[in-house]
Chain A
């Protein structure tokens, strides 16, 4: 499994807009480069990222060869109910890296 870093609060108030940051180690090899022997380096990229909040997709992104290595993706999610946030990266060969975080939501003040 790839190494991922996730920054998301463990607790939030209902309705609060939470900043979510993700970083994952991946070469994002474009497939356009050649090695020192002139041979093409095969493409190796992540193609999709998804964040699910209690099973429901709240953020998705399609990744392409121009994305730099170790993709950093940041977005916002509105806190609604306690539960789990899932972060799912899928590569070009459908290999999946999945990280889960629990979230506790307190009633709005």
Chain B
């Protein structure tokens, strides 16, 4: 129980929310009095690296995404740019509204899911592998067009069940250490957990370059780490549970700016 020894709050009662499908939509009130991006909890050096639009290593993927944006697939279908034109105008603010309900798929998709939907449906190409450099590059490039714009997701209508499931997941204890997300990202914000200063677990910077990974990574890669950290079995990249959780996290980050590509320790 190393984590418990390091953390206060292990003995507190968990806030368990009924996540059965019939549960009423939970009341959506901001869980934290002050919203702080993960940026706030990084060292001055890491913040400087994120702020430097040149030196930020995540920009290598943004550059690659820009190339892919204008590259037509082998199938004779148009490039992303063929339908969406100039990303700087057409994609500005788009990432800030994901995950969102997609009508033709009749489900909530995140940005990666939307990009792969366009690949399959509109480009007749195979979906890009989650966490492949190409999918990271495209999601970083599209995400970057919203850099600085406030996060705002819809949680009503067809998105309501996904939101409720994501919120329930957030407050449910799991893993051998029996901790829920809130035990670290609400009850212990600002305290040290080994080498990390615990942040509020905000999701606005992804895909983000993590120094430990020496690479850019998706939000789902980060979530898998947080699952493994409490010795819980992580879900697959792109799993429904992570998309629901992502929707909850984005609602929780409502108003914070998109920071893609953020830099984290």
Contacts and interface: CB of A to CB of B under 8 A. Distances in A.
A21 B60 contact: no
Contacts of A27: 214
A70 B55 contact: no
A68 interface: yes
B214 A68 contact: yes
A15 to B, nearest CB: 24
B41 to A, nearest CB: 21
B57 interface: yes
B interface residue count range (under 10 / 10 to 19 / 20 to 34 / 35 or more): 10 to 19
B61 to A, nearest CB: 8
B59 interface: yes
Interface in B16-65: 54-55, 57, 59-60, 63-64
A18 interface: no
B214 A7 contact: no
Given A5-B54, A7-B54, A72-B55, A23 B215 contact: no
B214 A69 contact: yes
B225 to A, nearest CB: 16
Nearest to B53: A7
A72 B57 contact: yes
Contacts of B57: 23, 69-70, 72
Interface in B206-237: 211, 214-215
A72 B214 CA distance: 12
**Central interface residue in A3, A21, A24, A68, by most chain B CB within 10 Å:** A3
Nearest to B59: A5
A23 B55 contact: yes
A interface residue count range (under 10 / 10 to 19 / 20 to 34 / 35 or more): 10 to 19
A23 B214 contact: no
A23 B54 contact: yes
A25 interface: yes
A3 B63 contact: yes
Contacts of B63: 3, 5
Nearest to A6: B54
Contacts of B215: 69
A74 B52 CA distance: 13
Contacts of A23: 54-55, 57, 59-60
Interface string B186-223: 00000000000000000000000001001100000000
Contacts of A70: 57, 60, 214
B214 A25 contact: no
Contact of B54 (A21, A28, A68): A21
A7 B53 CA distance: 10
Contacts of B64: 3, 25
Nearest to B49: A72
Contacts of B214: 27-28, 68-70
Contact of A3 (B55, B60, B211): B60
**Central interface residue in B57, B59, B214, by most chain A CB within 10 Å:** B57
A98 to B, nearest CB: 17
Nearest to A29: B214
Interface of B: 54-55, 57, 59-60, 63-64, 211, 214-215
22 contacts: A3-B60, A3-B63, A3-B64, A5-B59, A5-B60, A21-B54, A21-B55, A23-B54, A23-B55, A23-B57, A23-B59, A23-B60, A24-B60, A25-B60, A25-B64, A27-B214, A68-B211, A69-B57, A69-B215, A70-B214, A72-B55, A74-B55
